[in-house]
Amino acid sequence: MHHSLAHRSFRLIPVLFVLLAGTADAQPEAAPLVVMNLAAHPDDEDGSTLAYFRHGRDAIAYSVIFTRGEGGQNEIGPELYEELGVIRTAETERAARRLGTQVYFLNFMDFGFSKSAEETFERWGGRDEVTSRLVYLIRKLKPDVLFTNHDTVTVGPGRQHGHHQVVGLTAWDAFELAADPKYHPEQLDEPGIDVWQPKRLFRRMWTTDGSHDVAVPVGDRVRQSRNAGLTFAGIAAEALHEHASQGMDLFADRVAGWDSTYFEIYRTASDAAIPHDDLAGGLPANVQAEPDLTYWIDSGRLPALDAFTLSDSVLVPGQSVELRWVRSQLPDRPFRLKLFGAVDTTIVIRDDMPDRASLSVNRDAVPTIPKVAYQYEHMLNHAPIGYAVYELPSGDLEAGGYLAAEIAPPIFVEATEDVVRLRPGPNLLGYTMRVFDEEIDEITLATALAGDAAERIFDQNQESRPITGGITRGEVTLNMPGDAEEGSYTISLAAFARGGINGPSMDDDFVAGRLFSVDVPEGLRVGVVRSYDNTLEQALSQMNVEAVVLDSLDLARGNFDDLHTIVVDIRAYLVRPDLRAHNDRLLRWVERGGHLVVNYQKTFEWNPELSDPLNPARNNPGNFAPLPIHIGRERVTDESAPVAGLVPEHPIMNAPNRIDEGAWDGWVQERGLYFPDRYDEGYMELFTLNDPGEEPQTGSTLLAQVGRGTYLYTALVWYRQLKEFHPGAYRIFANMISLPLVDGRHSP
């Protein structure tokens, strides 16, 4: 699967130990209870139970998220993969602020839905690699209670996502191994990392027949703090609203009505009886956990000051910068100001001193921007320079926060696209180059192109002067030989900088190039009902097809007779109320001879027995398709799963592009999801495919004759393949949209 990060040559720092934190100064008195929630993805955290322990029990509360959700869908924009990971990280951080917790990321890649723990462990480096990262955090944060929504079920109808299974399995293992001094003893050499035995491990139960061990009263109301009057579940609902890229804002308010969250005990290391309403009941006070300054800041337990600013908001390692403060916004002087993270120094601020001081950024400071490249080098994602204010002479901690600054590499270069389509002759590749180091004198941008066998096709260099602190946007020309073979190519961009605070530096980016041809009938006109992004329009442009984006007025008028095909984008029946309202216009156009191609939708926005997500007082209409289609939850997650055509003589398999078995090679992430599980016999099944060891799925792509026209529903993930310029996917998709001009019908 293509990920932009996988094509960069960053010098990665071991991810476990870069926490942008740590100080030995005096801390507030810790709460006697520490709880830790374990989750596979952003929005999987148990916000209601976390809110209960943070605001109802005054506990130290942590979330540990195994991935950043980069393999999921994006319901607010076009970003996928690492760019989506940036969005979901920020959403999770904002949600944690609302909950009053601190969130850590284990930085395993979300590679999409997985059906087994075995596959997930393999993709994440093995069971020990996953377990050891969790053990490290348990030893650092010293929780009394672990709890998770995820279990270890691997088969049958109750099977969980493979990522969820791994959370359940590693939680089970880490519970005991964190206390074993023989397990990864090298971790114990780090200050603050000690063997630690959690006392209890619980699994959340989503339904209960009374067999639960504990019911946490999350429907109770908060008595103190700014959340007074809300229920703990209500706080969680507010936090869940932050996860807009996953569409959770549509369902968050349902959480506010919960009375309890239910749990069963998985493991225990305590003889104390477990009360029916308290995961931590009967446990002794925790006197060994020492949350660091970042916890007190991130959880909202310390007031912040607006008094401090830096002379520069984007800093490079080794740079000098001036700290300034506004006297009227300072606490009583004198006081001690400790700066930690990318700057490590202490200043005693008095009335008789200037209102500024010179600082130096640590030369080994780890960059934090661009986030798409560097977020995986941190387990905590707050700003890199923190501060704490200590009263003198008492030494009491009065305030804390982060300075408005990011750490940047001296130079950063990236192509404007992760994947490009190449053609024989000159090809323009856009790039963005950012120079953050003011002392860089000159830059050489080197470009190279190599084929499948790694043979170098050409190298070229160009000199440029840096725009310090700014952005240079440009293009390089890639001259493909006229006899170049169709296939995959690798394009490298490398920026070499001379001068600089720390001497010469460089950065590079790698781009995948695809050289292929695709045919469409002359004069084909296609309408697009867009949902999240413009992937379909870009693909149609690449095929030289005239595309018309249909807005609300177009759908209401229903006058599509100048179009041959209309394509409905993924999840459009959720995000386009106008489509739901005027879908009948599309179906009448199909009867007159049009061709409608509908990409995958989810069960809750389509199936007639489920409530309308835009109007929960009624059910979905149930007539989105001309013949009944009921959407299930089956999917084929193996992107290399064999695909066979069930009607090899059909025009979609033959015209205008001949489709062979190679058209399915090299897909990314998955084949398809939310396959129809029941449908009218009037549909023709076009493909069969299945994950290893499972029954064949024949409902992924369905075609029906409707009056003089045709209706095609497809649950295969064309949008991911079209973004990647996958040649086979382009040709099959071209055939699907070209059907009205190759099957013998009259044009509408």
- 44 within domain boundaries: yes
Q: Is residue 398 domain-shared with residue 335, that is, in the same domain?
A: yes
What pLDDT is stored for residue 468 in this prediction? 59
E strand intervals along 350-408: 356-360, 385-391, 397-402, 406-407
Q: Is residue 171 domain-shared with residue 259, that is, in the same domain?
A: yes
List pLDDT tens digits, range 279-307. Answer: 999 999 999 999 999 999 999 999 999 99
Q: Is residue 54 domain-shared with residue 154, that is, in the same domain?
A: yes
Q: Is residue 255 domain-shared with residue 294, that is, in the same domain?
A: yes
Note the maximum CA span of the chain: 90
Parent domain of 225: 30-298
- 23 within domain boundaries: no
Cα–Cα distance measured from residue 375 to residue 503, given in angstroms and rounded to the nearest whole number: 25
- 159 within domain boundaries: yes
Q: Is residue 90 domain-shared with residue 234, that is, in the same domain?
A: yes
Q: What is the DSSP string of 542-580?
A: HTT-EEEE--HHHHHHT--TT-SEEEEPTTHHHH-HHHH
**Residue ranges in the chain whose pLDDT is less than 70:** 1-31, 153-159, 224-228, 453-454, 458, 463, 465-470, 746-748
Q: Is residue 178 domain-shared with residue 222, that is, in the same domain?
A: yes
Q: Is residue 337 domain-shared with residue 433, that is, in the same domain?
A: no
What pLDDT is stored for residue 206 in this prediction? 83
- 25 within domain boundaries: no
What is the rounded average pLDDT for all residues in the chain?
90
Q: Tell me the pairing of strands 102-105 and 60-65.
A: parallel
Contact, 443 vs 466, CB < 8 A?
yes
CATH number at residue 314: 2.60.40
Name the residue type at position 512. Answer: A
Centre a 10 Å sphere on the Cβ of residue 126 and count the other Cβ atoms it contains.
Answer: 11
DSSP state of 611: E
Q: Is residue 661 domain-shared with residue 691, that is, in the same domain?
A: yes
Residue corresponding to tokens 């097809």:
545
- 471 within domain boundaries: yes
Cα–Cα distance measured from residue 136 to residue 11, given in angstroms and rounded to the nearest whole number: 22
List pLDDT tens digits, range 686-697. Answer: 999 999 989 999
Tokens, residue 703: 């075609």
Domain boundary among 343, 373, 407: 407
- 746 within domain boundaries: no
Q: Is residue 710 domain-shared with residue 580, that is, in the same domain?
A: yes
- 15 within domain boundaries: no
CA 554, chain centre distance (Å)? 34
The CA angle 44-532-430, to the nearest 5 degrees, is 105
Centre a 10 Å sphere on the Cβ of residue 123 and count the other Cβ atoms it contains.
Answer: 18
DSSP state of 694: S
Name the residue type at position 168. Answer: G
CATH number at residue 448: 2.60.40.3880
Q: Which residues are paired to 37 by β-bridges?
A: 63, 147
What count of Cα atoms within 13 Å lies in the side-chain half-sphere of residue 400? 29
What pLDDT is stored for residue 30 in this prediction? 63
- Based on the structure, what is the number of domains in the chain? 4
Cα–Cα distance measured from residue 549 to residue 559, given in angstroms and rounded to the nearest whole number: 13
Tokens, residue 297: 């800041």
Tokens, residue 388: 């704490």
Q: What is the DSSP string of 430-479?
A: EEEEEE--TTEEEEEEEEEEE-TT--EEEEEEEEE---BTSEEEEEEEEE
- 17 within domain boundaries: no
CATH number at residue 249: 3.40.50.10320
What pLDDT is stored for residue 16 in this prediction? 37
Domain boundary among 249, 277, 298: 298
Q: Is residue 390 domain-shared with residue 450, that is, in the same domain?
A: no
What pLDDT is stored for residue 74 in this prediction? 82
Q: Tell me the pairing of strands 145-148 and 200-205.
A: parallel
Cα–Cα distance measured from residue 170 to residue 233, given in angstroms and rounded to the nearest whole number: 27
Domain boundary among 515, 541, 562: 515
Q: Is residue 496 domain-shared with residue 547, that is, in the same domain?
A: no
What pLDDT is stored for residue 159 in this prediction? 57
CATH number at residue 635: 3.40.50.880
Q: Is residue 225 domain-shared with residue 326, that is, in the same domain?
A: no
Cα–Cα distance measured from residue 677 to residue 401, given in angstroms and rounded to the nearest whole number: 52
List pLDDT tens digits, range 26-61. Answer: 566 666 999 999 999 998 999 999 999 999 999 999
